């Protein structure tokens, strides 16, 4: 991906960090911010920091694209797929279907990225059909004559504005929306869907001095090295398991085994759970993200600083957003 590189992005260090964590652990991420803050720009650069596909992943992805008749070059696919459907897509096109069921966008993005730009503009029923594939990492399409199951272990990257006017509830904003309008706009995305997104990040506009800065920021190559190293740690950890390759794919039993916490971390997490009123699923997501942060630090154990960083990435669970 030579044309898209993170060195082109001015400022936004915290968002680059969250993208690095998402790429290292295969976590779903949602970017929320006003127009022109760089949400789409950052999302399009995500494939440039993803680790290379393993042989097993390349075989799986090539098979799906071959079933759909979309393999352009001979041999195995060596780039992770990046799918970016328009918001007018139907639920059959997203999940797959037809009289002879073909894989949909979520299966075409298997082992890669599914980017949904302007999430609230998608039809609600389209977003709701993604709930089960996001959890099970496979989708079963049933027809009268037969049933087909396609894998759909993709990384969801979504972006959205916080209100119909495009800006936060801010008196200085060029277009202000009332809290009621914001609430109605945000309610297009259901709580259960948001619950399945591991990392929520607020993108703020870049100040002028950062925009006009001529210094080059960190390149995708440098970030990708750290991501690949963290992913190698995960591959070693899960080498005895067939269905798990990285942290986001862990089930509850594996989370208990690999994300054991000390007393300080447990107390910190308990406080966050009570204050933010988090669900049991959000608790699991925080542990998965903290395990990835620990892997990026090359730390054997998950400690309190990893937990506190992971809690920061649940911003849509806080009061003032949804409730």
6-20, 72-86, 308-322: least confident range: 308-322
Number of neighbours of residue 298 by Cβ within 10 angstroms: 10
Express each pLDDT in 222-247 by its tens digit: 888 999 999 999 888 888 887 788 88
135-156 residue pLDDT tens:
888 888 888 888 888 888 889 9
Q: 209 or 145: which carries more pLDDT confidence?
A: 145
Do residues 245 and 235 lie in contact, with contact meaning Cβ atoms separated by under 8 Å?
yes
Dump pLDDT digits (tens) for 34-88: 888 778 888 888 888 888 888 888 888 888 888 887 776 667 777 888 899 999 9
**Across 123-135, average pLDDT:** 88
| Three-class DSSP labels, 71-92 | CCCCCCCCCCCEECCCCCCCHH
Cα–Cα distance measured from residue 310 to residue 314, given in angstroms and rounded to the nearest whole number: 8
Place of tokens 């920091």: 49
Say if CB 138 and CB 132 are below 8 A apart. no
- The whole-angstrom separation of Cα 229 and Cα 248 is 16
pLDDT digits (tens, 9 = 90+) for 172-182: 667 677 777 77
Q: What three-state secondary structure class fits 150?
A: strand
Whether residue 192 has pLDDT greater than 50? yes
Topology, domain 220-317 = Helicase, Ruva Protein; domain 3 (1.10.8)
Q: 2 pLDDT exceeds 70?
A: no
Q: Is 314 helix (H, G, I), strand (E, B) or coil?
A: strand
Amino acid 134: pLDDT: 87
Q: What is the pLDDT of residue 73?
A: 67
Percent of the chain residues topping a pLDDT of 90: 13
Strand locations in the chain, DSSP E? 29-32, 82-83, 96-97, 102-103, 113-116, 138-142, 147-151, 155-160, 199-202
Prediction pTM value? 0.87
Annotated domain spans of the chain: 6-211, 220-317
What does the pLDDT average to over 290-305? 90
* 26-40, 137-151, 152-166, 204-218: least confidently modelled range: 204-218
Architecture of the domain spanning 6-211: 3-Layer(aba) Sandwich (3.40)
List helix spans (H) across 33-178: 39-44, 55-67, 91-95, 105-108, 124-128, 131-136
Angle between helices 13-25 and 280-296 (to 10 degrees): 100
Q: How far apart are CA 103 and CA 235, in angstroms?
A: 27
Region of poorest pLDDT, from 183-197, 248-262, 290-304: 183-197
């Amino acid at each position: 991906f030579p044309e898209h590189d993170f060195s082109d992005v001015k400022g936004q260090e915290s968002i680059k960090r969250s993208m690095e964590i998402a790429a290292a652990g295969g976590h779903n991420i949602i970017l929320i911010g006003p127009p022109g803050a760089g949400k789409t720009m950052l999302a399009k650069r995500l494939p440039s920091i993803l680790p290379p596909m393993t042989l097993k992943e390349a075989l799986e992805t090539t098979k799906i694209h071959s079933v759909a008749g979309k393999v352009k070059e001979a041999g195995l696919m060596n780039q992770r797929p990046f799918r970016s459907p328009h918001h007018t897509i139907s639920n059959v096109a997203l999940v797959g279907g037809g009289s002879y069921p073909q894989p949909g966008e979520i299966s075409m993005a298997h082992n890669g990225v599914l980017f949904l730009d302007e999430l609230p503009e998608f039809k609600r029923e389209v977003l709701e059909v993604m709930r089960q594939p996001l959890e099970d990492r496979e989708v079963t399409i049933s027809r009268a004559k037969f049933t087909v199951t396609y894998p759909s272990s993709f990384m969801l990257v979504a972006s959205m504005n916080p209100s119909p006017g495009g800006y936060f509830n801010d008196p200085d904003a060029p277009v202000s929306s009332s809290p009621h309008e914001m609430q109605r706009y945000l309610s297009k995305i259901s709580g259960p869907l948001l619950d399945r997104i591991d990392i929520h990040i607020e993108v703020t506009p870049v100040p002028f001095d950062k925009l006009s800065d001529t210094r080059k920021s960190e390149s995708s190559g440098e970030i990708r090295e750290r991501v690949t190293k963290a992913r190698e740690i995960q591959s070693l950890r899960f080498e005895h398991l067939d269905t798990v390759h990285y942290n986001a794919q862990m089930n509850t039993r594996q989370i208990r085994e690999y994300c054991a916490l000390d007393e300080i971390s447990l107390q910190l997490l308990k406080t966050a759970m009570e204050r933010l009123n988090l669900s049991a699923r959000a608790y699991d997501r925080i542990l998965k993200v903290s395990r990835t942060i620990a892997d990026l630090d090359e730390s054997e154990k998950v400690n309190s600083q990893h937990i506190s960083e992971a809690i920061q990435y649940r911003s849509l669970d806080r009061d003032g957003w949804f409730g």
